[in-house]
Amino acid sequence: MNEEKKRILVVDDDVSILRVFKNILEKEGYLVETAETGKDALEKIKKEKFSVCLVDVRLPDMDGTDLLLKMANDSEIIKIIVTGFSSEEVGKKAADYGADDFLVKPVKAEELVATVRERLGTVQHES
């Protein structure tokens, strides 16, 4: 059984959030890449395979939901929107654009880990 480490891409223009998320997820045994722009994220997605992509709604070069649309054809990636703006509208828009889940900032470490684990669990279910 190949127990390969899961790769996670964190996309946020806030460097401190990138650092915190990276630390939390690496402690859990994931391989974590970060991107500060949507363009950077798309470049990384083209080069490597990621299991999970955590995307901030507000990016300097595009909206996080636009990034989701550009990733829509890659159904392998679990897409989780991260936003500081909690509203039904954001949740609905994220779902409409292909997000599998969404987290509201400030995100607690336990919440981040639990959401990622839960989502990976639903993808890797054994039949």
Domain ranges for the chain: 7-122
Terminal CA-to-CA distance of the chain, rounded, Å?
15
pLDDT at 125: 40
Architecture of domain 7-122: 3-Layer(aba) Sandwich (3.40)
Query: Average pLDDT for residues 66-90, to the nearest whole number?
Result: 83
Condensed to tens digits (0 to 9), the pLDDT of residues 15-45 reads 999 999 999 999 999 999 999 999 999 999 9
Here the tokens at position 2 are 């190949």
* pTM score, whole prediction: 0.89
User: Given the DSSP bridges, would you call strands 78-83 and 52-56 parallel, antiparallel or unpaired?
Assistant: parallel
Residues 57/90, Cβ–Cβ less than 8 Å: yes
Q: What angle do CA 57, 95, 77 make, to 5 degrees?
A: 80
